[in-house]
Amino acid sequence: MKIPKIIALLVIALFINSKSHAQTKKSDLFILADTIGVGSENKFFEMGSEGPGRYFTFLCKCIPPYDTYTTFGYITDKTKVVVSKTKPGYKYVSWKDLSEILYREGREVPKKYNIFITEALPDKSYRTDNVKLMLSSPPVIDFTIIKP
């Protein structure tokens, strides 16, 4: 008689646990990258491309182990790009707030946020891309010390 009750309790506990995981939704994080309206002496991020990928590097070593700059990237042919003639009305996070989020959340940022970067283009239009935080892998020890 006790076994069916235990099984029923386990099933209920698993059901409640799966519901709580299903309800965790990522927040959207919008970043404005304006290289056109900022003088070169005040720039704190860089943009570029390598092959089919584009990247945005925030000149902040904000994520452990604090040895590389924080980089966001996307593959140009695998992302939905939104181009508009006016600045989209998203609630943009400031660079200060972004650095605080990166310090606080660290490597958990991709699990908690959908990240979008809106880039100001030379023709006065705006391009919004869904980007991923590019995390560096921890060092791999690929040797063995052999004692004589």
Which position has the token pair 């990237």?
73
Q: What is this structure's pTM?
A: 0.70
Banded model confidence at residue 30, pLDDT cuts 50, 70, 90: very high
Instruction: State the chain's mean pLDDT as an integer.
Output: 80
Residue 42 clears pLDDT 70, i.e. is over it: no
pLDDT digits (tens, 9 = 90+) for 68-79: 888 998 887 766
| Strand pairing class (113-120; 27-33) | parallel
**What gap in Å lies between CA 119 and CA 117, rounded to an integer?**
6
- The backbone torsions φ and ψ at residue 69, rounded to the nearest 5 degrees and listed phi first, read -70, 155
